[in-house]
Amino acid sequence: MKRLIVAANWKMNKNVPESIVFTERLSKNLLNLRRTDIILCPPYTSLFNIGEILNKTDIYLGAQNMYFEASGAYTGEISADMLKSTSCQYVILGHSERRHIFNESDDLIHKKLAAALETGLKPILCIGETLEERQSGRTVNILKKQYVAAFRNLSESQMRNCIIAYEPVWAIGTGIVATPEQASEAHKEIRSLVASQFSYKMATEMAILYGGSVKPENAAELIATDDIDGFLIGGASLVEEQFVSIADTVEDYLAKQEK
């Protein structure tokens, strides 16, 4: 059975001591997960310390961003190799906040993705539309544009090391959640893009996560929706009880599917 994924994006939250205490508690509460992969993406400052804790667990470490150059005069930036040296295995790229607050272009995101893959990191590539784009009926066009720009020229073996996260910008941190129908439609569209570029088999095996105000209250309904392979969680990942509850919900769903 396909493993599902619950990834935590802490964004600019939790200093080093807070991150250590939180991760030590959290890892103990996730010991019984056998079917679900957990990825924690803390701020850069906590990567090394969190990596040391997670090395003793089955939980994976990810970063929230990186630059595409290997080294050089890029003040304030972090390279893929630097992330690898902290035990990072994943990196979030193209998050809507990077696109819309820091004005990252599709071309820059593609360069980052290529550099991550070259270094052996697994990208979690985010795509999604704004409220205005959805209301004007441009959701499909936006998803295709961002997908094609990010994954152009990739081989199938490279694509197998990628995860896609659909995050409707209008649902991130707003408390508004895409309905199961809206999420399913978007995920089906993304999966069809993978199938067109590679194959139907590749598309069915591709992990496509949903991100956008996921909470314990809506996790069960969303994870049971067609084509959703897990979550990229923001606010709820900062609260131990909420994140564990969502992870348990995904694990319970998979356990029922096995019966």
pLDDT at 177 over 80: no
- pLDDT score of 174: 76
- How far, in Å, are 100, 162, 176, 180 from residue 130 at the CA level? 10, 23, 13, 18
pTM value is 0.96
Span 117-141, average pLDDT: 95
- How far, in Å, are 23, 66, 91 from residue 84 at the CA level? 19, 11, 10
Do residues 222 and 250 touch, judged by C-beta distance below 8 A?
Answer: no
Domains annotated on the chain, with CATH: 4-258 (3.20.20.70)
The pLDDT mean for the chain works out to 96
Q: Length of the chain, please?
A: 259
**How distant is the alpha carbon of residue 88 from its chain centre?**
14
- pLDDT score of 172: 78
Catalytic residues: 95, 167
**How distant is the alpha carbon of residue 103 from its chain centre?**
19
> Which tokens belong to 225?
């929706």
DSSP calls for the chain? -PPEEEEEE--S---HHHHHHHHHHHHHHTTT-SSEEEEEE--GGGHHHHHHHHTTSS-EEEES---SSSSSS-TT---HHHHHTTT--EEEES-HHHHHTS---HHHHHHHHHHHHHHT-EEEEEE---HHHHHTT-HHHHHHHHHHHHHTT--HHHHTT-EEEE--GGGSSSS----HHHHHHHHHHHHHHHHHHS-HHHHHHS-EEE-SS--HHHHHHHHTSTT--EEEESGGGGSHHHHHHHHHHHHHHHHHHH-
Do residues 234 and 172 touch, judged by C-beta distance below 8 A?
Answer: yes
Selected residue with higher pLDDT from 177 and 76: 76
pLDDT > 90 fraction of the chain, expressed in percent and rounded? 91
pLDDT tens-digit map of 199-225:
999 999 999 999 988 999 999 999 999
